[in-house]
Amino acid sequence: MAQDSIDYACIDDDDLCLDNEASEINQLQLAALKEPQAQEDVDERLATVEFHCSGCNMHEMVHYYGRTPPFALGIKFREDSFVLRDPFQAPPPRWQSKPEFYVALGVKCASCGKVVCKDTSCSFYYTKTFCLECGKTELKNWPVEAQSRLRKQLAAKKP
Ligand SMILES: [Zn+2]
Ligand SMILES: [Zn+2]
């Protein structure tokens, strides 16, 4: 009887060891699961996308590149855009369904893919956004109004 109880104690110890190992693995897995989640929370508030206008050299870190910024609900840009959250806007609570203020700084030229800001000395919009260089090349295919609008814009451009 005494022998038996020692045996049981041993088995119990083994079980305990296994349990500990199992729960350690669980904890490790939990930690691994938690980490990217936490990072996502941080990233959402951080401007991690680099915007660099090829025209005027404006350089800014923005929050989003695409057409449907998650923080500007209901907004869908016609072109993939570099979008900055309004830096003066306090973060809204999670449950808030109103869009935040935001600034669309620029896009990629529809023809050559260069990044340009919305400034009239860097880009021209006719059905899509073009850098001024591509605008000059494309304009011969455009209707007269669009051509003269770009010509005016080019003439007004400061050197
Ligand atoms: Zn620019
Ligand atoms: Zn271009």
Q: What is the pLDDT of residue 129?
A: 97
* CA 100 to centroid of ligand 1, rounded, Å: 24
What is the model's pLDDT at position 38?
47
- Report how far ligand 1's centroid is from the alpha carbon of 11 (Å): 73
Which helix (DSSP H) or strand (DSSP E) does residue 148 occupy? helix 144-156
Output the pLDDT for position 19.
Answer: 61
Q: Give the closest ligand to the alpha carbon of residue 122.
A: 1
Residue 14: the pLDDT is 52
Task: Identify any residues that bridge with 59 across adjacent strands, giving them in sequence order.
Answer: 52
Minimal CA–CA distance to 109: which of 72, 86, 70, 82? Answer: 82
Residue 95 has what pLDDT? 63
Q: Which ligand is nearest to the CA of 136?
A: 2
What are the C-alpha distances in Å from 11 to residues 17, 83, 85? 10, 62, 60
Tell me, what's the pLDDT at 86? 78
pLDDT at 45: 72
User: What is the model's pLDDT at position 29?
Assistant: 62
* Domain coordinates in residue numbering, the chain: 1-42, 46-156
Of residues 117, 153, 118, 116, the one with CA closest to residue 136: 153
Q: How far is the centre of ligand 2, averaged over its atoms, from the C-alpha of 111 (Å)?
A: 5
Residue 134 near residue 118 (C-beta atoms within 8 A): no
CA of 116 to the centre of ligand 1 (A): 5
pLDDT in tens, the chain (159 residues): 445 544 554 445 555 555 666 666 666 565 555 544 444 455 567 889 999 999 999 999 999 999 999 888 788 999 999 999 876 766 666 665 665 678 899 999 999 999 999 999 999 999 999 999 999 999 999 999 999 999 999 999 766
